Chains A and B, each alone.
Chain A
Amino acid sequence: MKLPIYMDSHATTPVDPRVFEVMSPYFTEIFGNAASRNHSFGWQAEEAVEKARKQVADLIGATAKEIVWTSGATESTNLALKGVAEMYAEKGNHIITQATEHKATLDTCKRLEKNGVRVTYLAVQTNGLIDLQQLREAITDKTILVSIMYANNEIGVVQPVAEIGKICKERGVLFHTDGVQAVGKIPVNAIKDGVDLMSISAHKFYGPKGVGALYVRRRSPRVQLTAQIDGGGHERGMRSGTLNVTGIVGMGAAAEICNKEMAAESARLSALRDRLKDRILASLDEVYINGTMEHHLPHNLNISFAYVEGESLLMGINEIAVSSGSACTSATLEPSYVLKALGAGDDLAHSSIRFGLSRFNTEEEVDYVAGKVIDVVQKLRELSPLYEMFKEGVDLTKVQWTAH
């Protein structure tokens, strides 16, 4: 076993060596511009791009023509939301999303609000899922788009996407989903799920960084978008710019591997995840799992270790790469807004650790991580005045704190 151990796959994943092998000739030998129509260099590049388009489409139950290449999911989400808001402005100006979306969605919505679009941010329940009744009630005759993520990047909960799709269809509203954390990990089918637009990123499923896609439904309904990047009219006018052929080839190869191996891989990862969870729960008290485990990504575990601050925990397990919802680990010095949205209280957000298992993690690594986390939490609790008070039976919610 080699240290450090990488267990932060919601942030990114390494390129699978099999993917890298497929990509490699496209850096130097097959370097043509896919838009060059009159020589073999261009044709070869175009052929590779179209093969990848089919591979990505197959992974999400779409057709190749419904895939628009982008630089990544942030761009895909920007294109989906801004493109719909602009194209359907005459129909309405209302978008519905929810509080625990990725910043790519939330910040795009904030920008749209400045431009006169009205945005409803649905609250989530304590289990991390949206309330479908609230969604139904939020839709008005001015609503043009609902944007709800497939699976959450922090707490790994999987939203009831098919039901959301059904509601949107009934009400004649477009449905965008941020599929970044779900695609390649769990079965996603744009048709069955009733999705009209979906953002996807290659580097979350063992493809390269800097390439992504937006699924844009072509039939019932045919979704139209106003392009947000102007230029040579690539991607049927929806996204100009020379295609990142090498990256696209990698995304296609990565998608094909995921499609083939998903069933076995998700079973293996959920068993490893449960092993990690069970070991921690067996050894430590006052541990809280964030987000319902009933509708959950197989490789995600988000745990709050009460009375221990997240950054100090990361410091103690510094040869393990994971993330924390602690304010001290964020650029904004605010604890995780996702965990706050669950209503668990800021203190549990400060104490949270996100584990994201990947294709390359082993059982040996999981056992090492579990042991190390347990040791460090115990050590930090020895140091924690809050744990001491808890053990003395003090109700911490009734203490008058001298907050700064």
Chain B
Amino acid sequence: MAYSDKVLDHYNNPRNVGSLDKKDSNVGTGMVGAPECGDVMKLQVRVNPETGIIEDAKFKTFGCGSAIASSSLAAEWLYGKTVDEALAIKNTDIVNELALPPVKIHCSVLAEDAIKAAIQDYKSKQGSAVGAGVTATTH
């Protein structure tokens, strides 16, 4: 299968690889997928609780090149976005940006799920830490 230049670029030079402290109350962690399905994505965001802006995003992915590229792109996009803007990222945005073929669309879906899971984790942490002031969204 031929990969798009953008997939190759993210695969060869992945952005924002790494891990944030998952115990930090300002860090949200999303882990989606399963090893037996051949892909697992971990996406983490650190949010400034004052501004609601994502100040750091890191990923690690077990999966094919398109899965790595999708999560690398997601982490890149999350930088500087507000939590609500992050939740507005759709898998189709990733498909278009990376020119993913139909068989690789599930990689983009996984990346969208990872974003949502990370934000949800952050929100639920804030909810339990701050109390009634912040509402945690549950899916």
Contacts and interface: CB of A to CB of B under 8 A. Distances in A.
Contact of A350 (B11, B14, B35, B106): B35
A312 B65 contact: yes
Contacts of A264: none
A309 B39 contact: yes
Contact of A315 (B11, B19, B40, B41): B11
Interface stretch (B47-55, B56-64, B89-97, B127-135): B56-64
A70 B125 CA distance: 68
B38 A388 contact: no
B61 A384 contact: yes
Interface in A297-325: 307-309, 311-312, 315-316
B123 interface: no
A194 interface: no
A157 to B, nearest CB: 23
B115 interface: no
B133 to A, nearest CB: 29
Given A385-B31, A404-B106, A404-B110, A307 B62 contact: yes
Q: What secondary structure prevails in chain B residues at the interface with A?
A: mixed
Interface residues of B, number: 31
A402 B11 contact: no
Interface in B54-103: 60-65, 67-68, 103
B46 interface: no
Nearest to A404: B37
Nearest to A307: B62
Interface in A360-404: 382-388, 396, 401-404
Interface residues of A, number: 28
Interface string A184-228: 000000000000000000000000000000000000000000000
A91 to B, nearest CB: 43
A347 interface: yes
B88 to A, nearest CB: 22
Contacts of A404: 33-34, 37, 106, 109-110
A118 to B, nearest CB: 32
A327 interface: yes
Interface in B1-28: 3, 11, 14, 17, 19
A383 B3 contact: no
B35 to A, nearest CB: 4
Given A382-B17, A388-B19, A404-B106, A309 B11 contact: no
Nearest to A388: B60
Contacts of B62: 307-309, 383-387
A207 B64 CA distance: 34
B42 A385 contact: yes
A346 B36 contact: yes
Residue from A308, A345, A384, A396 having most chain B Cβ neighbours under 10 A: A384
B45 interface: no
A245 B10 CA distance: 51
Nearest to B8: A315
B117 to A, nearest CB: 8
B60 A402 contact: no
A328 interface: yes
Nearest to B103: A333
Contacts of B3: 315
A386 B35 contact: yes
A327 B38 contact: yes
Contacts of B118: none
A315 B3 CA distance: 9
A185 to B, nearest CB: 30
18 contacts: A309-B38, A312-B11, A312-B67, A312-B68, A316-B11, A327-B38, A335-B38, A383-B62, A385-B31, A385-B60, A385-B61, A386-B62, A388-B42, A396-B35, A402-B32, A402-B113, A404-B109, A404-B110
Listed from nearest, the 7 A-B pairs whose CB atoms lie closest are A401-B34, A346-B36, A385-B42, A347-B35, A385-B60, A311-B64, A403-B34
Interface of B: 3, 11, 14, 17, 19, 31-42, 60-65, 67-68, 103, 106, 109-110, 113, 117
